[in-house]
Structure 1
Amino acid sequence: MAIYFATVARGLEALAANELQNLGAQQVEPGFCGVAFEGDRALLYRVNLWSRLAFRVLLKLAKFPCYDADDLYRGIQAIDWRPYLSPDTTFAVDATGKNRSLNHTHFTALQVKNAVVDQQREQWGDRSTIDTQHPEVRINVHLEADACTVSLDSSGSSLHRRGYRPAVGAAPLKESLAAALVTLTDWPGNVPLLDPLCGSGTLPLEASLVALNIAPGLFREEFGFHTWPDFDADLWDELYQEAEAERKQDLGTWVGGCDRDSATIHQARINAQRCDLAEQIQFWVEDLANLEAPADSGYLLCNPPYGQRLGTDTDLGAFYKLLGDVLKQRFKGWTAFVLSGNKELSRHIGLKSAQRVAVYNGTLPCQWLKYELY
């Protein structure tokens, strides 16, 4: 059994812990912006393939007291790097966190690199090449409260980059946050779902992937562990084929999204195509003011602009009032969810929320507001 740590967006730790337990993780412990857990190699591969919420899955190698650069160097040298890193393998170091003495991540990463290659020269008479863009092994070093945790990054690029979305709108919602928001709605997957401000389609797409039991990792070309010396290709193929077999073919209900911008709807359709969902999700151009409900009841999910990256020049108060009017007048019998990064603006909706869940969109504190529309 190995010890792992899945990094997640702030506020999603409890949801991610639940997801990890469902995937078979042991000793699951939510922390700050992540969840520690234990499991075997099959679990490591499965979490990378199936997690909708994690950014990275780190394999913990060591933790040691670390007050200064000398402690760091000694601690890294105390790890036997031979099983993980032969001289013909490229690597990179990601450093996060700091303490009183080590307060510059670039210096920390450099010190780690020096300790590793010095050990390699001693043991092999040769050393690895550094490749910051596409390393075969990515070392993660985290400093916190005079302790250093050293891990290997099994994911490679962040898992929120599913691989189906080359096309994004001006202020895209991360796929992992969209998946979390869908999870928080308890959408049963058999009633209609609409995003009336869908941008490049992330909310309807992630909802559909959940409903169809499609592993988000199926769209990715590669993971970090693919280039590890101990990569078990047969085990990975088995897990990948299992995921393919568990995929449902047809959505049991209507799912769609619209936006007034034809260019972003074009992007949404490309993204749906890449998920092999172009025939199953409706994306169309529509102004919010003209929108009619596509069914008598369903779930409406949206991420309206809140003046941080989009819409700063428009009258957002009037836009939120319009959103509220459309919900009240045309979506009776529906349940609506609105992601709000601005409390003042959300008041303009003019409806009393039945539930508020605090989430973060990047560093911005937001609320996922639920409205029961009678």
Structure 2
Amino acid sequence: MSQYFATVARGLEELAAQELTELGAQDVAQGFCGVSFQGDRELLYRVNLWARLPFRVLVKLGEFPSNDDRELYDGVQQIDWGEYLTPELTMAVTVTGKNEQLNHSHFTAVQVKRAITKQQTEKFGQRSNVDIQDPNVRINAHIDKDVCIVSLDSSGSSLHRRGYRSAVGDAPLKESLAAALMKMSGWTPDLAFIDPLCGSGTLPLEAAMQALNIAPGIFRNGFGFENWLDFDAELFDRLIKSAEAGEKQDLQATIIGSDRNFDIIEQARSNARSSGVEKYIQFAQMELADVEAPADSGILLCNPPYGERLGRDEDLGAFYKLLGDVLKQRFKGWTAFVLSGNKELAKSIGLKSAQRTTVYNGTLPCQLMKYEMY
């Protein structure tokens, strides 16, 4: 059994813990911006392939005192790097956290790199090159008070990059946040779904992928663990084939995305094609004022702009009021969720929310407001 840590956006730790448990993780415990858990190699591969909420899955290699750079260097050298990194593999070191003596991430990363390459040179007579952009092996050092935890990053690039989205609109939601919002809304595949302000389509795309049981990592170019010395290609291939075999071919309910901007809707359609769900989502260029409910009940979820103005002459306060009017007049029987990073604008919706939940869109604290439309 290995010790893992999945990093997630602030505030999503509980949801991520539930997701990891459902995927088979053991000894699951929430932390700050992450969840620790235990499991075998198959679980590590499965979590990277199937988890919708985490950014990265780290594999713990060691933990040791690190009051200063000397202790850090010595602790890193106690790890047998020959098990994970040979000189022909490139590497990169990232650092999170700090303490009084180790308070500059670049300096800390250099110390970790020096300790690793010193050991390699003594053992192999040569050392790994550093590749910041696309290394074979990513190493994470986390400084927490007087302790350093060293891990391997099994994911490679962030897991929120599903691999299907080549086209993005302005300020797009991360796919991991979209998946979390879907979870928080209580949407299930038997319910109609609409995003009337869909932008490049992240929310409808996540809905379709969930409804069709498409693994979120299936379109990625690769994962970090595929470069590791102990990579089990046969096991991973088996997981990939199982995921592909489990995909569904039909939706139980309608999924719709609309936006006023034709070019943005074309981006959404392009992303849908890349993820193989184009025929399942109804994308339409449409003004918010023209949006109609596609069924007697369902979930509406949207992420309207938070800035001062929608366009050159359009006030966002009026736009939010229009959103409230559309919900009230045309979505009776529905449950609506609106994510907003501007409390004053949110008041312009003119409806009483049944529930408000704080959600972080990057570093921006937002409110996910729930409206029961009777």
TM-score band (shorter)? over 0.9
The alpha-carbon deviation at position 313 of structure 1 amounts to 7.6
1:276-299 Cα deviation digits (max 9, x unpaired): 111110111001112222222221
- Map 1:223-372 onto structure 2 (within 5 A): 223-307=223-307, 314-372=314-372
Paired with 1:243 and 1:310, the residues of 2 have a C-alpha distance of 41
> Does structure 1 retain, via aligned residues, the 8 Å contact 2:209–2:277?
no
Paired with 1:368 and 1:103, the residues of 2 have a C-alpha distance of 35
> Does structure 1 retain, via aligned residues, the 8 Å contact 2:308–2:315?
no
> Does structure 2 retain, via aligned residues, the 8 Å contact 1:305–1:311?
no
* Higher mean displacement: 80-89 or 223-232: 80-89
Q: Aligned pair in 2 of structure 1 residues 318, 223: CA closer, same or farther (>3 Å)?
A: same
> Does structure 1 retain, via aligned residues, the 8 Å contact 2:309–2:316?
no
* Higher mean displacement: 343-352 or 34-43: 343-352
SS of residue matched to 1:11: coil
Q: Which position in structure 1 is the counterpart of 2:31?
A: 31
Q: Aligned pair in 2 of structure 1 residues 140, 308: CA closer, same or farther (>3 Å)?
A: farther
The alpha-carbon deviation at position 309 of structure 1 amounts to 10
> Does structure 2 retain, via aligned residues, the 8 Å contact 1:162–1:216?
yes
- Map 1:3-18 onto structure 2 (within 5 A): 3-18=3-18
The alpha-carbon deviation at position 314 of structure 1 amounts to 4.2
Paired with 1:126 and 1:65, the residues of 2 have a C-alpha distance of 28
Q: Aligned pair in 2 of structure 1 residues 245, 310: CA closer, same or farther (>3 Å)?
A: farther
The residue type equivalent to 2:201 in the other structure is G
* Higher mean displacement: 40-49 or 103-112: 103-112
Q: Aligned pair in 2 of structure 1 residues 311, 171: CA closer, same or farther (>3 Å)?
A: farther
* Higher mean displacement: 91-100 or 175-184: 91-100
1:317-350 Cα deviation digits (max 9, x unpaired): 1111010011111111111110011111111111
Paired with 1:127 and 1:294, the residues of 2 have a C-alpha distance of 61
- Map 1:100-139 onto structure 2 (within 5 A): 100-139=100-139
Q: Which position in structure 1 is the counterpart of 2:161?
A: 161
Q: Which position in structure 2 is the counterpart of 1:191?
A: 191
Measured on the aligned residues, the alpha-carbon RMSD in Å equals 1.3
SS of residue matched to 1:276: coil
- Taking every aligned residue pair, what percent have the same amino acid on both sides? 67
1:98-143 Cα deviation digits (max 9, x unpaired): 1111111111111111100000111111111111111111100111
The alpha-carbon deviation at position 191 of structure 1 amounts to 2.1
The residue type equivalent to 2:171 in the other structure is A
Q: Which position in structure 2 is the counterpart of 1:210?
A: 210
Q: Which position in structure 1 is the counterpart of 2:173?
A: 173
The alpha-carbon deviation at position 247 of structure 1 amounts to 1.0
> Does structure 1 retain, via aligned residues, the 8 Å contact 2:310–2:316?
no
SS of residue matched to 1:129: coil
- Give the TM-score normalised by the residue count of structure 2: 0.98
- Give the TM-score normalised by the residue count of structure 1: 0.98
1:44-72 Cα deviation digits (max 9, x unpaired): 00000000000000000011111111111
Paired with 1:295 and 1:285, the residues of 2 have a C-alpha distance of 19
Paired with 1:120 and 1:220, the residues of 2 have a C-alpha distance of 31
Paired with 1:330 and 1:171, the residues of 2 have a C-alpha distance of 28
The alpha-carbon deviation at position 310 of structure 1 amounts to 6.8
Q: Aligned pair in 2 of structure 1 residues 72, 313: CA closer, same or farther (>3 Å)?
A: farther
Paired with 2:312 and 2:118, the residues of 1 have a C-alpha distance of 52
The alpha-carbon deviation at position 168 of structure 1 amounts to 0.5
* Higher mean displacement: 292-301 or 229-238: 292-301
Aligned residue pairs: how many? 374
